[in-house]
Structure 1
Amino acid sequence: MSSQTGSTIPGSPGFFSKEATVAKPGFSRWMVPPAALAVHLCIGQAYAFSVFNAPLTRVIGITESAPDDWSLTTLGWIFSLAIVFLGLSAAFAGKWLEKVGPRRTMFTAACCFGGGFLVAALGVHLHQIVLVYLGYGVIGGIGLGLGYVSPVSTLIRWFPDRRGMATGMAIMGFGGGAMIAAPASVALMNHFKSATSNGVTETFVVLGIIYFISMSIGALAIRVPRANWTPAGWTPPVSNGNKMITRNHVHIDQALKTPQFYLIWLVLFLNVTAGIGVLGQASVMIQESFKASITAAAAAGFVGLLSLFNMGGRFVWASASDWIGRKNTYFVFFALGAVLYLLVPQFAQSGNVALFVLSYCVILSMYGGGFATVPAYLADMFGTKYVGGIHGRLLTAWAAAGIAGPVLVNYIRAYEVAHGVVKADAYTTTLHIMAGLLVIGFICNLLVRRVNEKHHMSASALAAE
């Protein structure tokens, strides 16, 4: 039976093929964002992994750390490995993703992410940190990368009229997944806690199964539009100077030969660098800036508020980019962000908590918005045919920023304090540097132009693909 008509049944040779996912006439494109969210809400758990850190230091001691228990520095590598392999898998699996389609890729992500938890659970049970590194860090990290990029190109093809909104909905899920995972993980550990176990092993097993099922449902529900499909009544817009939306396509390998790829790489890198360091030190930063008035509990509330803006910004800013254009959206990120970074130290010195908090909320909304807007930016520049793979390669900017941002915040602060600067003022130099980075980002974004037509795929090349 023809897979093009959707008549392929589970277990038949072509069920996971790209052709088997082609939607039948009458399929609603609004079924695709929930399928993407089913994956992104799961892999967003990565942002909540820190809830396991303290319990993992008491696997043997149960109530307190024993001499043979793991240290926090040893455990810190679990998350770091996961992010590294997220970036590597997203970058190197791009061609495979475009070849096999979203269903196979999303199901592979489900197997890796869910299976990674099970391997990590075995590592905790046997108290073998190498197995935990392998499970959550390597295997789970590959699942993170494949799960992150696999729905993107599909969403963009279903929503050529609302590219930003579509990718914003899915990537918002990655930002919000931790808000579900953190309390759920704590509740599970408390449920399984006993005199001989602190509940981590059992929690890993339950999460692995739940995430595998949820992500598999998303993989089975995903569909791709048939060739040359467009929304009813929609016609491709005429390209203009603000939006620069191409009707052509650039091959994934050819994209790396264009200056546009590297300029947008820098755009994402600089935007993420300016936000990710703050995100990691938000609690300490507000307590040191307002030592007399901000408690640890209030600082925790501040971190939660930033997470909400990080999540909401992914949808709001990406949706706004459909109206004002991707390039203009990043102009707002860089210009407004630079101004706010320059003003924040003044708000801290004047004791204005409200403006301090508001400024960081806006900054973090633009941090999240940068992640959600960039897939649509790439589709505008390089076309939709290989946007998933190109996006995967661009995510190396995230990995680089994940190192640069915290280094700037942590080491410059340490240097300032070591040289006699009071802690409340130790972030001023860092924030001014962040503002400078955003100015550089503004210039990089300004230099982005349409891709030269020599890089476009010919009609015969497209047909051969």
Structure 2
Amino acid sequence: MLNHYTLLSKERTIAKPGFNRWLVPPAALAIHLCIGMAYGFSVFWLPLSKAIGIDKAVACPTGSGLMTQLFTQSCDWSVSTLSIMYTLFFVFLGSSAFLFGGWLEHAGPRKAGLVAAVCWCGGLLLTALGVYEHQLWLMWLGGGVIGGIGLGLGYISPVSTLIKWFPDKRGMATGMAIMGFGGGAMIGAPLADFLMRHFATPTSVGVWQTFLVLAGIYFIFMVGGAFGYRVPATGWKPSGWSEYSSKKQSLTTTKHVHLNVAWKTKQFWLIWGVLCLNVSAGIGILAMASPLLQEVFGGHLIGLNLSINELNADQKKQIATYAAGFTGLLSLFNIGGRFFWASFSDVIGRKVTYFIFLSLGVLLYVAIPSITHAGNLALFVLCFCIILSMYGGGFATVPAYLADIFGSQMVGAIHGRLLTAWSVAGVLGTLLITNIRDYQLAHGVAKADSYDITMYILAGLLAVGFILNLMVRPVSEDKYMSDEELARERQTAHDRVQEPSSTAVTIDGSATTTPAIVVLLAWLAVGIPLAVGIWITIQKAIVLIH
């Protein structure tokens, strides 16, 4: 076992008096912006689908199944087979967060962040090898399984730490970090596209070289983020802040529930269901955003009263440009919603915030078919932008929701268990929207009308979520740890009690001894790439707005 003299031990990450807590969010962002590239992996599917043929895909023999594509070196993979990696990402994200959340609380965020960097970047290296050797199973193992484990550890690594540093702004703090996960694809996808074009040759589509470069860049940023983590000493609080006077809602507790108890309570499973249903409703839309807009509005996007099937190849390319702008616009609202809604939840409370997500979501989904048939493109786009803002907001708000109900001592581990809801939703939401669409098309429903039933079903899911959220109540007194149990847990977690002589950091950071230039540089390191990614996405979205 690592002792307190080792560089990665939790004791070495306990902040000294005067540490500026605003250094922790950029450390979290450095990791989340890297692992958030999982959302942008679709940029690789088309190039990889012609990795052998280069200009045109080499089709596998008729009747070839999945096993053929897993091991073949003589024909190209299909996009549908490649995209299974996307599902693996989120299945193993939830699974690893479930399994290793308790370990993270005891080992500390630095060690967890470093393991996440090794898994995510090591997974990219194995994926590069899989592309180079044209072995799909190696790509699934590297990117999907090992990379997915890195996603889970990287995703939950800052949650408990941020909530303890910002007890006065729980939602805002987790919103800042989780915003990075939504924004990772904004940076990574354009960068990957540039690298693939740079490395492309007459004999290579440039994908394996791109994976190598991305692995190197991400490793540097993730290691930097991991070593930037600091945890507050037990008992630390912002000066002038009181956990008792700051309670804004009856659900907020000042006590703590152990992980082994929390995940067996009805409150945990109610919130699990709320998150699963909210994510299921949003993630399918996110996955199908581009074809959804093209198939629903078709030629109307370019001023022609034609369905998508009536357009020629050049016209379809034109509407694909608008669809890319639509996808970019949804990404912006996905990211902005993570920060806005999580921060707003600090004011109105977490339960009320979810009531807004679920009730407003129902109204929007029910209204969309009518808006579509009326041909109101602007209102259609606005509805989905609001929906995606609440999709992202649900992710960013839930850690603070858990901390309110179960306390902050083991919230990172409890959040890890809850993320299995994401794994289920990642499969459920995507299969739901694609299978219903395919079923309707197979039965003669026009493409423009094939999403109507889906919208009503998604509204139904959110209505069920509304009822589950209504049932959330504070946990009973017997579920909280006693003072003796809490002391033992803090000893196991290698927590150190705040020294009485230590100066508490003020809410605005004015009492810190950390040089302001250090804080500025830390924020610039993550802020500049994020700003570039947002600007690129805005440029794409402007096409649709025009």
| TM-score, normalised via structure 1 length | 0.95
Residues 143-158 of structure 1 aligned to structure 2 (within 5 Å): 143-158=150-165
How far residue 246 of structure 1 moved from its aligned partner, in angstroms, is 0.5
Deviation at 1:285, TM superposition (A): 1.6
C-alpha distance in 2 between matches for 1:420 and 1:374: 41
Distance 1:217 1:276, change over 3 A: same
SS of the equivalent of 1:228 reads: coil
| Corresponding residue SS for 1:186 | helix
| Correspondence for 2:363 | 339
Q: 1:259 to 1:177 in 2, by over 3 A?
A: same
Alignment of 1:366 onto 2:404 = no
Q: Which amino acid aligns with 1:64?
A: K
Letter in 2 for 1:78: M
What residue is the counterpart of 2:264 in the other structure?
257
Alpha-carbon deviations, 1:262-301, whole Å to 9, x = none?
A: 0000110111111111111112222222123122211111
Change (3 A) 1:115 1:336: same
Is the CA contact (8 Å cut-off) linking 1:243 and 1:326 kept in structure 2?
Answer: no
Displacement of 1:74: 2.9
- Corresponding residue number in structure 1 for 2:52: 60
- The size of the alignment, in residue pairs, is 455
Residue in 2 that maps onto 1:138 = 145
Task: Quote how far apart the aligned CAs of 1:238 are.
Answer: 4.6
Deviation at 1:76, TM superposition (A): 2.2
Indicate the residue corresponding to 2:320 in structure 1: 296
Q: Alignment partner of 1:384: what SS?
A: coil
Distance 1:50 1:421 in 2: 28
Aligned to 1:31: 23
Q: State the alpha-carbon separation in 2 of the partners of residues 20 and 315 from structure 1.
A: 30
Residue identity in the other structure for 2:404? D
Shift in Å at residue 400 of structure 1? 0.8
1:240 to partner: Cα distance: 6.0
Q: Per-residue deviation at 1:354?
A: 0.8
Residues 239 and 245 in structure 1, CA contact (< 8 A), matched pair in contact too:
no
Aligned to 1:308: 332
The 1:311–1:243 alpha-carbon spacing in structure 2 relative to 1, beyond 3 Å, is farther
Structure 1 residues 243, 293: closer, same or farther in 2, change over 3 A?
Answer: farther
Deviates more, 1:318-327 or 1:113-122: 113-122
The structure showing larger relative contact order (alpha-carbon pairs under 8 Å, at least 6 residues apart) is 2
Distance 2:278 2:298 in 1: 29
Counterpart residue type for residue 187 of structure 2: I
Q: What is the CA distance between 1:155 and its match in structure 2? A: 0.4
Which residue of 88, 100, 103 maps to 1:96?
103
The code of the aligned residue for 2:9 comes to S
1:409 aligns with 2:401: no
Aligned partners of 1:243 and 1:325 also within 8 Å? no
Partner in structure 1 of residue 484 of structure 2: 460
- Structure 1: runs of 5+ lacking an equivalent: 5-12
Counterpart CA distance in 2 for 1:185 and 1:211 is 12
1:37-48 alignment runs, 5 A limit: 37-48=29-40
Identity between Structure 1 and Structure 2 (%): 60
Counterpart mapping for 1:186-265 below 5 A: 186-238=193-245, 242=249, 244-265=251-272
**In structure 2, distance between residues paired with 1:432 and 1:74:** 29
Distance 1:282 1:71 in 2: 20
Separation of aligned partners in 1, 2:350 and 2:449: 35
Q: What does 1:8-19 correspond to in 2, within 5 Å?
A: 13-19=5-11
Equivalent residue in structure 1 for 2:192, among 182, 185, 188: 185
2: CA distance between counterparts of 1:409 and 1:258? 31
Deviations 1:153-195 (A, max 9, x none): 1000000000000000000000011000011001111111223
The residue that corresponds to 1:387 in the other structure is 411
1:185/1:203 contact within 8 Å kept = yes
C-alpha root-mean-square deviation of aligned residues, in Å? Answer: 1.5
CA, structure 1 residues 452+217, in 2 after alignment: closer, same or farther (shift >3 Å)?
same
Q: Is the 8 A contact 1:243 1:327 kept in 2?
A: no
Alignment partner of 1:93: what SS? helix
Work out the CA distance in 1 between the residues paired with 2:334 and 2:380.
16
Q: CA deviation at 1:243?
A: 5.2
Q: Deviations over 1:242-272 (max 9, x none)?
A: 3521101101010122110000001101111
CA shift, 1:407, in A, is 2.1
| Aligned-pair CA distance for 1:444 | 0.6
Structure 2 gaps of 5+ residues are 60-73, 302-318, 490-546
Partners of 2:195 and 2:382 in 1: CA distance = 34
The 1-side partners of 2:327 and 2:463 are apart by 26
CA–CA distance in structure 2, aligned partners of residues 455 and 99 of structure 1: 21
Q: Does residue 397 of the first structure (1) align with residue 421 of the second (2)?
A: yes
Give the letter aligned to residue 291 of structure 1: G
